Structure 1
Amino acid sequence: MEKKVTLPKHKFHIQAGDTVVVIGGNSKGLRGVVKEVIVEKDRARVEGVAMITKHMKPTASNPQGSLVKTEGSVHISNLMVIDPATGEPTRTGRKVNEKGKLQRFSKKTGNFIPDAYRKQ
């Protein structure tokens, strides 16, 4: 019997709930909140960025069909976290906080970046 190989979980500089700015691609310069991080593809969905049009098939409840605008995904490398203290894009690093846990920090200011999905 063959063992399943489990790959280590990726650590990204972006998390769901972060405010980010797009630094490359067609949506360059746009800001938004990360809705979802797609770990398998190294991509993220950002509110109002990389909008795509989906064609919905006609159904009994919607006999005409429709066009739906939704967010596409953006590669993680094209996103930069916005420092909550200054409101400017910043690189991030990890260091141990007062509670002994690894936490992201802004390399521009040195302040910790709060985890958006966890209540502080």
Structure 2
Amino acid sequence: MAASKIKKGDTVVVRSGKSKGHVGTVTQVLPKDGKIVVAGANVITRHRKPSQENPQGGIERREAPMAISKVGIAVDGKPSRVRFETQDGKKVRVAVKSGEKIDG
């Protein structure tokens, strides 16, 4: 995979799937798989049997990884693509829609 244009801590908008329109923060990036985990999006439910670690058992809800292509960086609450530019000798991420710099 190429260099990821979305990093941990970025605010993103989900563009497609069951969580379409959800705005959340990236909690984990899995570059080898081309996936990311977004807080509150793509929530799955697992029924767990009682075990020694979890004697009660029960229903566990957590965010599952989703394809990185399903999200876009949030710029004014709307998704935008990202491109790299060189400014002052440094490689920075820039939102395609607005042209504003994403990196500090």
TM category (shorter chain) comes to 0.7 to 0.9
Deviations 1:19-61 (A, max 9, x none): 1111111111111100011112111000000001123342346
Q: 1:10-49 to 2 correspondence within 5 Å?
A: 10-49=2-41
- State the TM-score, normalized to the length of structure 1: 0.77
CA distance in 2, matches of 1:77, 1:22: 9
- Give, in angstroms, the shift of residue 63 of structure 1: 2.6
8 A Cα contact 2:44 2:63, kept in partner? yes
Alpha-carbon RMSD: 1.7
74, 90, 98: which one aligns with 1:101: 90
What percent of counterpart residues are identical? Answer: 36
Answer 1 or 2: which has greater strand percent: 2
- Which aligned segments of 4 or more residues in structure 1 are displaced greater than 2 angstroms? 54-57, 59-64
Maintained 8 Å contact 2:13/2:78: no
Q: CA deviation at 1:13?
A: 2.0
| Contact 1:13–1:81 (Cα < 8 Å) also in 2 | no
Q: Which runs of 5+ in 1 are unaligned?
A: 1-8, 115-119
The structure that has the greater radius of gyration is: 1
Once the two structures are superposed, the pairs formed by residues 78-89 of structure 1 within 5 Å of their partners are 78-83=70-75, 86-89=76-79
Show structure 2 runs of 5+ residues with no match: none
